[in-house]
Amino acid sequence: MKVLIAELVNQRPDSSISLLVNEQFALADVDIVTGTVPAVNWLSTRTDIDLPTVVIVNFTDVNDGLVICQSVRQRLVPHVFLLFLCRTTTDSNWKSQLLMAGADVCLNLDEFGQLAAHLEALKRIADSQNRLLADRTLLQFQSAHDPLLSNLLNYSAILARLELQIKSADQKPVSLMMADIDNFSQVNNLYGHLAGNAVLKQVAERIRSSVRSNDAVGRFGGEEFLVVLSNCPAKETTKLAERIRRNVGREPVDVHSDMISVNVSIGVTTILKKMSAENGIKQADLALYQAKRLGKNQVRVYGGKESSNSGYPESGKVYKFENTRKLE
């Protein structure tokens, strides 16, 4: 937990406040900033994830308190708990002003004895919020990732990623690969579905480790995978596809001492301007079909009329990487 003490009264922090905070939040990361402008600057330089959970403001001028309050509440972040300690003020409505601006607790000089109790209450609420945020993060991850292949996006998420890349491409090439494990049904028939799951996991890991960190890999269905590559020209895409093919087939998958050989066929295309994600997937699927039909364990690039300006072979042709071809 992170705590900020904004000291707006004294040049030096009030030691009684910092001691009490350290008692209530024994493992907290506590920062102390003196002055209104330095406190606002400190908050503005923090990313949303680095903002403190609790901000304690020791002030005399309600306007200073409002500035701190507004600088926090304008951020779209999980709730930051604001606790204001007023030493003295001529404004009798200071509590109402701060509470309306987003403060959580306001104490005047006569109420400082309640500070420890309020800190304990804020700690309980903050702990509950952190647990809820952790649960939300987990649910968000689970909703976007395959339940079996947790390192890959699921069908809906990979399609959403493809749509997003197309919309934000801004003239930069978006390439697409569709990979399919060759003869996967035989793995299930000969070794069982648990062995098939183990093969799927290993293939998924080999694909994921073969592409760039900003590329998206998802399970398209069954033993098919979709790879979305942003700002990746045709030549580079075919290199990456061949790297995937080589890495997947470099060694058998060991499943309970059964050494299962595995290979993939890959279809590749580039999403051109104004082309829909659906058409891009169809092109990659056609190229994959060619790879399967012409012997499997190979990379094929879509060569239809739509790709004549993409750097791929001319209309009507498909390109095959020979298994012995070396990466450039």
Q: Which of 223, 236, 278, 322 is catalytic?
A: 223
- Indicate if 302 and 174 belong to the same structural domain: yes
CATH number of the domain that residue 255 is part of:
3.30.70.270
Please say if 236 is a catalytic residue: no
CATH number of the domain that residue 84 is part of:
3.40.50.2300
- Indicate if 308 and 211 belong to the same structural domain: yes
- Indicate if 200 and 312 belong to the same structural domain: yes
- Give the E-state strand segments of the chain in sequence order: 2-7, 29-34, 54-59, 81-86, 105-108, 174-181, 216-221, 224-230, 253-255, 258-260, 264-271, 299-301, 319-320
- Indicate if 230 and 106 belong to the same structural domain: no
What predicted TM-score, i.e. pTM, was given to this entire model?
0.63
Residue 326 in any domain: the answer is no
- Indicate if 179 and 306 belong to the same structural domain: yes
Torsion angle in degrees (nearest 10) through CA of 197, 201, 203, 208: 160
Residue 148 in any domain: the answer is no
pLDDT score, position 304? 61
Q: Within 10 A of 123 (CB to CB), how many other CB atoms are there?
A: 18
pLDDT score, position 229? 92
Residue 325 in any domain: the answer is no
- 211, amino acid identity: V
- Indicate if 210 and 98 belong to the same structural domain: no
Alpha-carbon distance values, 259 to 217, 251, 254, 262, 293 (Å): 26, 9, 5, 10, 26
pLDDT score, position 272? 75
Q: What is the span of the domain harbouring residue 139?
A: 2-143
Environment class of 25 (CB within 10 Å of its CB; exposed 0-12, middle 13-18, buried 19+): buried
Q: Which residue, 101, 120, 143, sits at the end of a domain?
A: 143
Residue 298 in any domain: the answer is yes
Q: Within 10 A of 324 (CB to CB), how many other CB atoms are there?
A: 5
Per-residue pLDDT for the chain (328 aa), expressed as one digit of tens each? 888 989 988 766 667 787 777 777 776 788 899 999 999 999 999 888 888 888 999 998 899 999 999 999 988 777 888 888 887 766 678 999 999 999 999 998 888 788 888 888 888 888 888 888 888 888 888 888 887 887 889 999 999 999 988 888 676 788 999 999 999 999 999 999 999 999 999 999 999 999 998 899 999 989 999 999 988 888 899 999 999 999 999 999 999 889 999 999 999 998 877 788 899 999 999 999 999 999 999 999 998 643 333 344 433 334 443 332 332 2
- Indicate if 15 and 118 belong to the same structural domain: yes
pLDDT score, position 113? 81
Q: Within 10 A of 293 (CB to CB), how many other CB atoms are there?
A: 10
**Rounded to whole angstroms, how far apart are CA atoms 44 and 294?**
59
- Indicate if 46 and 89 belong to the same structural domain: yes
- Indicate if 312 and 171 belong to the same structural domain: yes
- Indicate if 80 and 111 belong to the same structural domain: yes
**Rounded to whole angstroms, how far apart are CA atoms 222 and 219?**
8
Q: Which residue, 143, 174, 208, sits at the end of a domain?
A: 143
